Amino acid sequence: MPDQPATNDPDAASPGDSAGPAPAGFAELGVDERALAAIADVGYETPSPIQAATIPPLLTGADVVGLAQTGTGKTAAFAIPILMRLDVKAKKPQALVLAPTRELAIQVAEAFGRYSAHMPGVHVLPIYGGQNYGVQLSGLRRGAHVVVGTPGRVIDHLEKGSLDLSELRFLVLDEADEMLKMGFQEDVERILAETPTDKQVALFSATMPPAIRKISKQYLHDPVEITVKAKTTTSANISQRWLQVSHQRKLDALTRILEVEPFEAMIIFVRTKQATEELAEKLRSRGFSAAAINGDIVQTQRERTIGQLKSGQLDILVATDVAARGLDVERISHVVNYDIPHDTESYVHRIGRTGRAGRTGEALLFVAPRERHLLKAIERATRQPLTEIPLPSVDDVNAQRVAKFADSITESLATPHVPLFRKLIEDYEAEHNIPLVDIAAALAVLSRDGENFLMEPDPPAPVRERRERAERPARRFDDRDDDGGSRHRRTGVEMATYRISVGKRHHVAPGAIVGALANEGGLRRSDFGHISIRPDHSLVELPADLPKETFEALRRTRISGVLIQLQLDQGPSRGTRRPRRRD
């Protein structure tokens, strides 16, 4: 039976979902030709259970409550019906999707873009904290049919008058339970209250806590309730490992792995067509046999490239999800997720390209510090923990180079050309009176074509990389500067204490503060220090050198519906330093 194709949907469908039998295809759900063409482009063949259950009621105008985890295909389930019913001649926003994080907002907006590829004139705009207001204001002035945003930034635009929801027809609450956990309940309810009463609402949540049930009863009209459980599994004969590496060090990390890890053939997955060509070229320049396949490559070239991979003429294939659809090459021993997929099902389909026909396979995942949440989603969906591995060291790489050099000598000694070159070397030795070992060393240098044989030691890690490697915020600060300033004990970053206008009476928790500030200001968890929640305010330790743009974005952040008005704490507490903001 052929594989189910992988997709780039942020919530790609799981073949193990269960919500009743799925129809034969999307056309039977009422999906029109424009959307069907886009669906074919991204690689869907049959709808997932949540798509089969959700698309028909949304097309008829019914409200929907969907209980579904990330990885069940819900983005396509609400995006396709909305896009089919848009009026592209209208200028004001017709659809608003609320998402808890900037990452999800970007992913959902990109998915809307893919599904509207055959719908000329549709404009989709993501709005979220941390991005320049000018870009968002320009997009809103030009006219956006679909706005995908985080609650705080949506309220900012409502207050500025730059976002007009008076003609809104569709509203989606994506990962509603996560929004509530991050303290956005009042923000969500305020946004709902400012939208037309006759709009269509779709609410998606992994769980149904009382607060979500309350919103459903208050703002949705006789909704259709759909429950889908993901049952994504991976083959037991595939070893799954992951490596934390920043984006700028990915190529170096991949090169080291290729030198240290024995493999027969490998597929490296990246997100974009351009990245396939760029990475394949960089690997070829480093001496690896690599080629790219993507959606722009003609079928004859694709077949020729895959034939080379099968025959052993090619060892590494750099591919996108769609381009690798249906690929079945037994000698693929490794799959590398150079770019982590934004959905669990794509991950499962990617690594399924190895471990075929009862063979063992190796799957390796590169994870940037900001992508750790995607790693956890993959582990939950596959019900298998991934093993973290360290970056191969310089000593590891050099040991492999020395071993391969010795092996190459052994192999060359068995070739029929040795007698000829032995005579030439003997003549050279007699003529120049140079020891044979020196002549052999000179020939080895010549074979390297001027390149360094051994890898140079790593330079000292910069402060930014040390910060990225910190996995969680330190809650205590034991190291103090002489003038009273504090430093993050794990990263050495100078910290300052800031005051925000929410406290115990607003029922805030540390997790809500971290989530809201990280989302709106683009901060990492390692940027947070001690958090002290007082009756009417809270104190938060953050880096002292916050950029001006980040500081202003945080000042406008809302938690539990309250504008936090971030400012330097002027209280008597020791260990604070006035932050240095970049003007």
pLDDT at 455 over 80: no
Residue 416: CB partners within 8 Å, gap ≥ 6?
none
Q: Tell the burial category of 535 from Cβ atoms under 10 Å away from its Cβ (0-12, 13-18, 19+).
A: exposed
Q: Are residues 72 and 203 in the same domain?
A: yes
Q: Give CB contacts under 8 A, 24+ apart, made by 472-476.
A: 472/525, 472/526, 473/514, 473/525, 473/526, 473/527, 473/528, 473/529, 474/529, 475/529, 475/530, 475/531, 476/530
Least confident of 154-158, 246-250, 266-270: 246-250
Q: What is the CATH number of the domain that holds 361?
A: 3.40.50.300
Count CA within 13 A, CB hemisphere, residue 573.
19
Structural domain contains residue 6:
no
By percentage, how much of the chain surpasses pLDDT 90? 33
Q: Give me the pLDDT at residue 365, please.
A: 95
Angle subtended by helix axes 344-351 and 372-382, to nearest 10: 70
Q: Give me the pLDDT at residue 397, please.
A: 75
Query: Residue 67: which H helix or E strand, with range?
Result: strand 64-67
**Residue scoring higher pLDDT (233 or 92):** 92
Total domains present in the chain: 4
Q: Are residues 486 and 421 in the same domain?
A: no
Q: Name the average pLDDT for the chain.
A: 81
Structural domain contains residue 546:
yes
Structural domain contains residue 504:
yes
**Residue scoring higher pLDDT (383 or 192):** 192
Q: What is the DSSP letter of 246?
A: -
Q: Report the largest interatomic distance among the alpha carbons of the chain, rounded to a whole angstrom.
A: 98
- Beta bridge partner(s), residue 241: 364, 387
Domain endpoint, select from 392, 411, 432: 392
Selection from 100-104, 263-267, 466-470 with the highest mean pLDDT:
263-267
- Beta bridge partner(s), residue 267: 317, 335
Mean pLDDT of all residues in 131-154? 91
- Kindly report the number of other CB atoms within 10 A of residue 103's CB atom: 18
**What pLDDT digit, counting tens, does each position of 171-187 carry?**
999 989 888 888 888 88
Q: Tell the burial category of 415 from Cβ atoms under 10 Å away from its Cβ (0-12, 13-18, 19+).
A: exposed
Rounded CA separation 135/154 (Å):
14
DSSP of 505-572, one letter per residue?
A: GGT--HHHHHHHHHHHHT--GGG---EEE-SS-EEEEEETT-BHHHHHHHHT-EETTEE---EE--SS
Q: Give me the pLDDT at residue 428, please.
A: 87
| Identity at 285, one-letter amino acid code | S
**What pLDDT digit, counting tens, does each position of 344-394 carry?**
778 888 888 888 666 788 999 999 887 888 888 888 878 888 999 888 887
Q: Give me the pLDDT at residue 486, please.
A: 53
Q: Are residues 212 and 64 in the same domain?
A: yes
Q: Are residues 270 and 162 in the same domain?
A: no
Q: Are residues 109 and 181 in the same domain?
A: yes
Q: What is the SS3 assignment for 124?
A: strand
Q: What is the SS3 assignment for 316?
A: strand
Q: What is the SS3 assignment for 157?
A: helix
The residue length of the chain stands at 583
Q: Are residues 214 and 320 in the same domain?
A: no
Selection from 194-203, 371-380, 420-429 with the highest mean pLDDT:
194-203
Please say whether the beta carbons of 371 and 400 come within 8 A.
no
Residue 500: CB partners within 8 Å, gap ≥ 6?
513, 537, 538, 539, 540, 559, 564, 565, 566
- Beta bridge partner(s), residue 408: none
Rounded CA separation 538/547 (Å):
21
Structural domain contains residue 578:
no
- Beta bridge partner(s), residue 361: 238
Q: What is the SS3 assignment for 203?
A: strand
Q: Are residues 253 and 401 in the same domain?
A: no
Rounded CA separation 252/274 (Å):
19
Least confident of 38-52, 466-480, 492-506: 466-480
Instruction: Say if pTM beats, i.e. exceeds, 0.75.
Output: no
pLDDT at 447 over 80: no
Structural domain contains residue 7:
no
Please say whether the beta carbons of 569 and 562 come within 8 A.
no
Mean pLDDT of all residues in 409-434? 84
- Kindly report the number of other CB atoms within 10 A of residue 400's CB atom: 17
* Closest-CA residue to 44 (of 354, 365, 343, 366): 343
**What pLDDT digit, counting tens, does each position of 543-580 carry?**
888 888 788 888 888 887 788 999 998 765 444 444 44
Please say whether the beta carbons of 184 and 132 come within 8 A.
no
Please say whether the beta carbons of 325 and 267 come within 8 A.
no
Q: What is the CATH number of the domain that holds 501?
A: 3.30.70.330
Q: Are residues 401 and 527 in the same domain?
A: no
pLDDT at 583 over 70: no
Structural domain contains residue 579:
no
Structural domain contains residue 118:
yes
Least confident of 19-28, 198-207, 310-319: 19-28
Structural domain contains residue 5:
no
Phi and psi based region of residue 543 (left: phi greater than 0; alpha: psi -120 to 50; beta: remaining): beta
* Closest-CA residue to 529 (of 493, 555, 484, 565): 493
pLDDT at 58 over 90: yes
Count CA within 13 A, CB hemisphere, residue 509.
8
Q: Are residues 65 and 179 in the same domain?
A: yes
| Identity at 4, one-letter amino acid code | Q
Q: Are residues 154 and 39 in the same domain?
A: yes
The residue segments making up the domain with residue 554 are 463-568
Q: Tell the burial category of 484 from Cβ atoms under 10 Å away from its Cβ (0-12, 13-18, 19+).
A: exposed
Beta strands in 276-417 (DSSP E): 290-293, 316-319, 334-337, 361-367, 387-388
* Closest-CA residue to 96 (of 46, 150, 21): 150
Q: Give me the pLDDT at residue 459, please.
A: 60
Domain endpoint, select from 173, 196, 227: 227
Q: Are residues 297 and 401 in the same domain?
A: no
Domain endpoint, select from 205, 227, 249: 227
Q: Are residues 96 and 220 in the same domain?
A: yes
pLDDT at 157 over 90: yes
Under the banding of pLDDT at 50, 70 and 90, the label for residue 448 is low
- Cα–Cα distances (Å) from 80 to 31, 38, 96, 504, 507, in that order, read 8, 10, 14, 42, 38
